Structure 1
Amino acid sequence: MISKDNAEHYVWGDECDGWYLVNRQDMLVIHEKMPPGTAEKRHFHSVSRQFFFVLKGVLSMELEGEIHHIEAQQGLEIPPGAKHQAKNDTASSVEFIVISHPTPRGDRSDLP
């Protein structure tokens, strides 16, 4: 059994948290938490397909210039090559699951 209570933890960006729930080359599943006012860098993956599923709060996802507000119990798929950026524009933390197939390690290109 795995949960964020016993999974390997890491910190990314500006005080954001991640927990590896599945950490394999063919698939990566991460539980992430973004405090209010945080954002990741805009980027894309050439091969990896991702699915973001919100557990708590509202995640703002810019996908190819369009903003999507993903609420709890909603998800959004990011196809390979799509430019995107996750943001928390709210006053509360947002928690979500990111499923990547295959792993995005070595497959991320940051954008200006």
Structure 2
Amino acid sequence: MISNENAEHYSWGDGCDGWYLINRKDMLIIHEKMPPATREKRHYHASSRQFFFVLQGVLSMELEGEVHDICAQQGIEIPPHAKHQARNNSDAPVEFIVISHPTTRGDRTDL
């Protein structure tokens, strides 16, 4: 069994948290939490296809210049080479699951 209690934790950005639920070369599944008014760097992946699924809050995903507000129990697919940036534009935390196939390790180019 895996949960945030026993998964490997990491910090990123400005106070954001992540937990590796599955961390393999063929698949990466992470649970991430972003405080209000935070964002990641805009980037793309050469090979990895991702799916973001929101658990709580509203995730604003900029995808190829268009912003999508993804509410709890909704998701968005990010294909390889698509430039994107996850943002929390709200005044509440947002939590989501990111599934990447294959892993994003060594496959990210920041813009």
Give the structure-2-normalised TM-score: 0.99
Q: 1:104 matched to which residue of 2?
A: 104
CA distance in 2, matches of 1:100, 1:68: 19
Counterparts of 1:3 and 1:51 in 2: how far apart (Å)? 19
The residue type equivalent to 1:53 in the other structure is F
* 3-state secondary structure, aligned to 1:85: strand
Number of equivalences? 111
Q: Which aligned runs of 4 or more in structure 1 are off by greater than 6 angstroms?
A: none
Give the whole-Å Cα distance in 1 for the aligned partners of 2:47 and 2:9. 25
What is the distance in 2 between the residues matched to 1:89 and 1:5?
27
Please give the alpha-carbon distance, in whole angstroms, between the structure 2 residues aligned to 1:81 and 1:34. Answer: 24
Percent of aligned pairs sharing the same letter: 77
CA shift for structure 1 position 5: 1.4
Letter in 2 for 1:32: E
List aligned pairs for 1:1-112, cutoff 5 A.
1-111=1-111
Shift of 1:6: 1.2
| Residues 51-80 of structure 1, C-alpha deviations (whole Å, 9 max, x = no match) | 000000000000000000000000000000
Structure 1: segments with no counterpart, 5+ residues: none
**Matches of 1:91 and 1:74 in 2, distance apart?**
19
Give the distance between the partners of 2:43 and 2:52, measured in 1 at CA: 15
| Structure 2 stretches lacking a partner, 5+ long | none
Equivalent residue letter for 1:52: F
Q: Secondary structure at the match of 1:5?
A: coil
- Aligned Cα root-mean-square deviation (Å): 0.4
